[in-house]
């Protein structure tokens, strides 16, 4: 290619080498590397970025691994909450039934006391022995046993004391009557008060008085029968 110099008095400046600028940049970089503070700051920033990235990655992995356990824990929590709510509901029903039973016992507790007493006294009565009087000798509060809970004693029914007056033509029958009365599960604290010979209908007989207490027997001794029974 032909170049024409329009200004012959001046010489054309020669183009610089393309590596000169690069050399200049390397020289400036070498000058900057003499100061360690920028390098330390860059390394610290890079380390911080790498640590944050690794923390985010490891946290994401742990969260992904714990997600099924969290869902299972939520299901277990809901199941136990339903169980506790059902248990409280059953306890409320139980407490209501217990309260109703206590009310029924307080109303109906003394209805069958005397039938039991008369049944047991009649069963223990030997031959040639009859009763003159059967009544109440007093009602006393229930005595707690040594070391027993006082709160439980307050709920016990009072003790009913009874007195039995009778006649017999045989002293041994009177002894047998005491022994059979003591064997009853409903009668306790049998104690003879007096026994003397009296004349009744021109015949000598033994007049006796016995004091005892009524005791609620165990449910094994309670015999129930239907109120009505069809007869064929």
Nearest-10 Cα torsion for 148, 150, 151, 153: 80
Burial of 167 (0-12, 13-18, 19+ CB in 10 A): middle
Instruction: Give yes or no: residues 77 and 117 share one domain.
Output: no
Domain boundary among 68, 83, 98: 83
Within a domain: residue 226? no
Instruction: Give yes or no: residues 204 and 162 share one domain.
Output: yes
Does this model's pTM top 0.75? no
Instruction: Give yes or no: residues 185 and 123 share one domain.
Output: yes
- Give residue 197's domain range: 113-145+155-217
The pLDDT assigned to 73 comes to: 87
Within a domain: residue 7? no
Instruction: Give yes or no: residues 128 and 191 share one domain.
Output: yes
Instruction: Give yes or no: residues 135 and 192 share one domain.
Output: yes
Instruction: Give yes or no: residues 33 and 125 share one domain.
Output: no
| Residue that is written with structure tokens 């900057």 in the block | 32
Structural domains in the chain (count):
2
Run means of pLDDT, 10 residues per run, the chain, 232 residues: 59 54 62 65 85 87 82 89 93 92 71 84 92 82 53 58 92 92 91 90 91 82 64 54
Instruction: Give yes or no: residues 123 and 34 share one domain.
Output: no
Instruction: Give yes or no: residues 122 and 51 share one domain.
Output: no
The pLDDT assigned to 5 comes to: 60
Within a domain: residue 99? no
Within a domain: residue 44? yes
The pLDDT assigned to 154 comes to: 47
Instruction: Give yes or no: residues 59 and 130 share one domain.
Output: no
Domain boundary among 83, 104, 131: 83
Instruction: Give yes or no: residues 159 and 209 share one domain.
Output: yes
Instruction: Give yes or no: residues 134 and 208 share one domain.
Output: yes
> Which helix (H) or strand (E) covers residue 7, if one does?
none
The pLDDT assigned to 124 comes to: 93
The Cα–Cα gap between 229 and 166 comes to 36
* 205, 198 contact by CB (below 8 A): yes
DSSP 222: -
Instruction: Give yes or no: residues 213 and 121 share one domain.
Output: yes
CATH number at residue 123: 3.30.70.60
Within a domain: residue 108? no
Could you tell me which of 162, 166, 185 has the C-alpha nearest to residue 125?
Answer: 166
């Amino acid at each position: 290619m032909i170049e024409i110099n329009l200004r012959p008095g001046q010489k054309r400046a020669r183009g610089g080498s393309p590596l000169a600028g690069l050399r200049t940049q390397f020289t400036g970089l070498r000058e900057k590397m003499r100061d360690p503070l920028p390098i330390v700051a860059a390394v610290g920033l890079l380390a911080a970025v790498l640590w944050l990235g690794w923390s985010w990655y490891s946290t994401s992995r742990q969260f992904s691994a714990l997600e099924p356990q969290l869902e299972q824990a939520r299901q277990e929590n809901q199941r136990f909450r339903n169980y506790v709510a059902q248990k409280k509901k059953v306890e409320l029903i139980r407490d209501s039934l217990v309260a109703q039973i206590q009310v029924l016992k307080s109303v109906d507790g003394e209805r069958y006391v005397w039938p039991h007493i008369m049944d047991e006294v009649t069963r223990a009565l030997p031959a040639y022995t009859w009763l003159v009087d059967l009544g109440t000798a007093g009602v006393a509060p229930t005595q707690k046993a040594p070391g027993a809970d006082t709160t439980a004693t307050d709920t016990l029914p009072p003790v009913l004391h009874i007195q039995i007056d009778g006649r017999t033509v045989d002293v041994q029958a009177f002894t047998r009557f005491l022994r059979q009365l003591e064997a009853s599960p409903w009668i306790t604290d049998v104690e003879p008060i007096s026994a003397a010979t009296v004349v009744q209908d021109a015949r000598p007989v033994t007049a006796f008085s016995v004091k005892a207490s009524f005791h609620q027997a165990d449910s094994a001794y309670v015999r129930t029968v239907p109120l009505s029974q069809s007869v064929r």
